[in-house]
């Protein structure tokens, strides 16, 4: 599409052969994902730190479980030592594979920049999800793969052989990812109603850290707490994909968890729609 | 849609905001913890108007008068508290996306371009967002790049652009999909004189050659004099004047202003009934002349007779002065009312 004169007026858009094959309505979301992927390239230092942090945490948690198990008379019914270290490794890798930027919507609401996203004919949810996916794809290359490779060599973790585990992961990971995205999204939208949302986020991080199963698997919580954990969305984010992938949960129980994930995804999806509508009614855009 | 029907129709448009009132002082901040008092601000109050295809409307008002709030309701960002508005047969806040295809928006204080992307890539994203067909996009892109002298800017990230350059790119971004209506909220704010002039020339061209209907908010009267055939003045949320800029000038043109320089002194009051003090500075006074209270001949004779005048000049009123006079009078009787005589 270069001008005969080679002027700068050449029209952009030729660099996207794959995107061009998509239907027009979907192109924009693919582009958002790619842009967001590219944007990450600017933060080189950060992904080295990310890999280092991931490995450090895996080292700490596996060492911790070893120390704990060494002092036990008999291992608990839920996990033997090998099981719990494998769980710790993969829970951390799943966690890294789901890294999401949950503050950009809050920033846009605060600054009023969201007004400009609202005068465009597109779904804000779709735009944010695509950006998030682009970022995640980037983390897959720069963090998940290196951390996984080192873990397989350095910590006694092995990838499951059975195809069922991989199939379950292929369903549970996207659902977990979507649930996490929507929980973040709902919390971010609170900024439309409240000027100060820090305490909400603190609460979210707390609940996530404790109940998502990334540090302590749900099995180790006391019985009386389990109904609460099961009625919150957090355990379906990290615990479920990790438990299904490592084979800790299989068969009918695995299917039950996937159905629950699906139900949560649908419920949260509806909540996002309702809350976005309410936000639009309420919308108070800051500044001129 | 009928050619003669208004493109934009607002009826009784009203928007209130609930703001928290916080008490001052230490005791006050404790009280704030337990009770919050709310106050209602009526940012836009029962505003009605029709705007037709091809018009170039200046929406004028002081800071906080309600200009941006009105624009936000017309673009679908805000839902009105009361009243109704239709933009090209669409209720913007009910069908934000459909409305978005018809309009272009530029907010002077913020950019719709992606901060860290080269301008060209932002344009490419907009092309996908608005699903602009290839041939139309190519045509618009070339035309705008040439008219706004964008070539040297296209490969730069937005954060490296000066304000004037960024505004040119933002204007192009708002027009890439060929909207019928362009909303500009303080597009010249912060621009230097040369950049302002360029921007104005560009807007005039867009209105005249492309037939785009333009609604421009500003508190810079020079924008209005240079561009707008019609002026709507909003004061504290209500329309204080709505009519042609020509008529506004014509009806106030007889209210000339005298600039009088006195010899070595400046009298406390100039006791001539037809003259009203506007401003004083050093040995000079600016006085508004009211033709109903005497002829210009009588006034000037009296001045030279009773005072020691060194120099005198007579000015035609500027739109700015007229608008100021309207503000001083307070909001007009009713929305969409006949022009107010200053
Ligand atoms: N989001 C908001 N919350 C509370 N008050 C607001 C908000 N937006 C505008 N206002 C108030 O409404 C009035 C009109 O504001 P605005 O429309 O921005 O004026 P303008 O654009 O003419 O300067 C001002 O008093 C302003 O403080
Ligand atoms: Mg404003």
Dist. CA B324–CA B61, nearest whole Å: 10
Alpha carbon of B48 to ligand 1 centroid (Å): 18
Closest chain A residue by Cα to residue B144: A9
A84 touches A65 (CB < 8 A): yes
Cβ(A61)–Cβ(A92) below 8 Å: yes
Q: Whose CA is nearest to atom 3 of ligand 1?
A: B17
Residue in A1, A12, A32 nearest the CB of B123: A12
Ligand 1 center–CA B159 separation, angstroms? 27
In angstroms, rounded to a whole number, what is the distance separating the alpha carbons of residues A195 and A111? 11
Tokens 């749900």: give the residue. Answer: A218
Question: How many C-beta atoms surround the C-beta of residue B252 within 10 A?
Answer: 22
Residue B216 confidence (pLDDT): 94
Give the closest ligand to the alpha carbon of residue B60: 1
* pLDDT at site B254: 62
Q: Whose CA is nearest to atom 25 of ligand 1?
A: B64
> Which CA distances in Å does B158 have to B117, B123, B241, B300?
6, 12, 38, 57
pLDDT given for residue B253 in this prediction:
62
Give the residue from B118, B206, B204 showing the smallest Cα distance to B165: B118
> Mean pLDDT per segment of 10 residues, for chain B of length 342 residues?
82 89 70 73 95 95 91 91 94 91 92 89 92 92 88 92 91 94 91 85 90 91 87 92 86 78 87 86 88 87 91 81 73 40 34
In this prediction, the residues of chain A whose per-residue pLDDT falls under 70 are: 1-17, 283-288
Please tell me the predicted confidence (pLDDT) of residue B69: 94
Residues B308, B310, B312, B318, CA torsion sign: negative
State the Cα–Cα distance between residues B70 and A120, nearest whole angstrom. Answer: 18
Ligand number with the minimum distance to the CA of B234: 1
pTM of the model: 0.82
Which residues contact residue B228 at a Cβ distance below 8 angstroms, ignoring those fewer than 6 apart?
Answer: B56, B57, B58, B216, B245
Neighbours of B165 (CB within 10 A): 19
Which residues, including other chains, have CB under 8 Å from residue A60's CB and lie 6 or more apart?
A: none
- Cβ–Cβ contacts within 10 Å for residue B65, how many? 24
3-state SS record for B30-66: HHHHHCCEEEEEEEEEEEEEEECCCCEEEEECCCCCC
| Residue A7, pLDDT score | 43
DSSP H helical ranges for chain A = 17-20, 24-40, 44-70, 81-97, 104-111, 114-118, 124-139, 145-154, 163-189, 198-211, 226-230, 239-245, 251-282
Identify the three-state secondary structure at position A82.
Answer: helix
Chain-centroid distance, C-alpha B114? 26
β-strand pairing of B8-21 with B37-51: antiparallel
Distance between Cα A284 and ligand 1 center (Å): 10
Residues from chain A contacting residue B185 (CB–CB below 8 Å): 288
| Residue A228 · residue A207 · CB < 8 Å | no
Going by alpha carbons, the residue nearest to atom 2 of ligand 1 is A284
Supply the ipTM of this predicted assembly.
Answer: 0.79
CA-to-CA separations, B272 to A164, B256, B259, B265, B321, in angstroms, rounded: 99, 15, 15, 18, 21
Within 6 A (CB) of ligand 1 lie A 284-285, 288; B 17, 19, 41, 43, 61, 63-69
Question: Which of B77, B100, B124 has the CB atom closest to A13's CB atom?
Answer: B124
The pLDDT assigned to A8 comes to: 41
Q: What pLDDT score was predicted for residue A6? A: 38
pLDDT at B33: 67
Q: Are strands B230-235 and B275-281 parallel, antiparallel or unpaired?
A: unpaired
pLDDT of residue A16: 58
> Which tokens go with B326?
């309207």
pLDDT cut 70: percent of chain A above it: 92
* Tens digits of residue pLDDT in A211-242: 999 889 999 999 999 999 999 999 999 999 99
- Per-residue pLDDT tens for B39-52? 889 999 999 999 99
């Amino acid at each position: 599409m270069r001008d005969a004169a080679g002027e700068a007026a050449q029209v952009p858009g030729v660099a996207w052969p794959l995107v061009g094959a998509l239907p027009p309505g979907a192109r924009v979301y693919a582009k958002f994902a790619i842009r967001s992927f590219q944007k990450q390239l600017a933060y080189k230092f950060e992904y080295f730190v990310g890999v280092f942090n991931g490995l450090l945490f895996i080292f700490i948690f596996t060492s911790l479980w070893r120390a704990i198990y060494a002092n036990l008379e008999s291992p608990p019914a839920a996990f033997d030592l090998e099981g719990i270290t494998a769980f710790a490794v993969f829970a951390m890798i799943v966690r890294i594979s789901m890294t999401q930027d949950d503050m950009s919507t809050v920033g846009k609401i605060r600054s009023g920049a969201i007004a400009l996203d609202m005068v465009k004919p597109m779904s804000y949810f779709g735009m944010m999800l695509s950006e998030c996916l682009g970022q995640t794809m980037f983390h897959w290359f720069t963090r998940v793969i290196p951390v996984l490779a080192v873990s397989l060599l350095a910590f006694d973790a092995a990838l499951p052989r059975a195809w069922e585990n991989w199939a379950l992961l292929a369903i549970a990971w996207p659902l977990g990812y979507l649930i996490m995205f929507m929980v973040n999204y709902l919390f971010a939208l609170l900024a439309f109603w409240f000027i100060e949302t820090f305490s909400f986020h603190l609460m979210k991080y707390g609940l996530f850290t404790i109940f998502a199963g990334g540090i302590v698997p749900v099995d180790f919580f006391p019985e009386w707490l389990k109904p609460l954990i099961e009625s919150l969305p957090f355990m379906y984010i990290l615990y479920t994909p990790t438990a299904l992938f490592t084979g800790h949960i299989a068969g009918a129980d695995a299917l039950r968890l996937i159905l629950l994930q699906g139900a949560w995804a649908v419920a949260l999806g509806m909540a996002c729609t309702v809350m976005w509508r309410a936000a639009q009614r309420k919308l108070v855009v800051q500044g001129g | 849609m009928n050619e003669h029907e208004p493109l934009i129709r607002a009826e009784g448009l009203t928007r209130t905001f609930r703001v928290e009132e916080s008490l001052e002082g230490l005791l006050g901040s404790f009280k704030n913890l337990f009770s919050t008092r709310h106050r209602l601000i009526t940012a836009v109050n029962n505003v009605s108007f029709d705007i037709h295809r091809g018009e170039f409307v200046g929406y004028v008002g002081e800071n906080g008068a309600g200009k941006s709030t009105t624009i936000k309701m017309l673009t679908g960002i805000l839902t009105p508290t009361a009243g109704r508005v239709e933009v090209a047969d669409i209720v913007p806040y009910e069908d934000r996306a459909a409305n978005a295809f018809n309009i272009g928006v530029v907010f002077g204080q913020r950019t719709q371009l992606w901060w860290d992307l080269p301008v060209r890539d932002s344009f490419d994203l907009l092309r996908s967002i608005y699903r602009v067909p290839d041939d139309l996009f190519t045509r618009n892109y070339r035309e705008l790049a040439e008219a706004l002298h964008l070539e040297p800017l296209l490969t730069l990230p937005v954060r490296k652009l000066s304000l004037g350059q960024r505004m040119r790119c933002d204007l192009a971004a708002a027009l890439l999909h060929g909207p019928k209506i362009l909303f500009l909220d303080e597009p010249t704010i912060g621009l230097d004189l040369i950049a302002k002039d360029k921007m104005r020339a560009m807007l005039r061209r867009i209105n005249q050659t492309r037939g785009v209907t333009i609604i421009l908010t500003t508190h810079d009267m020079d924008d209005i004099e240079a561009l707008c055939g019609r002026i709507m003045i909003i004061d504290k949320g209500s329309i204080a004047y709505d009519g042609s800029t020509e008529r506004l000038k014509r009806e106030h043109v007889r209210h000339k202003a005298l600039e009088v320089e006195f010899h070595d002194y400046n009298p406390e009051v100039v006791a001539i009934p037809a003259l009203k003090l506007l401003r004083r500075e050093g040995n000079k006074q600016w006085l508004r002349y009211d033709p109903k209270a005497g002829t210009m001949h009588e006034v000037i004779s009296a001045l030279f007779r009773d005072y020691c005048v060194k120099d005198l000049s007579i000015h035609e009123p500027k739109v700015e002065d007229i608008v100021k006079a309207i503000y001083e009078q307070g909001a007009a009787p009713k929305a969409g009312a006949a022009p107010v005589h200053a």
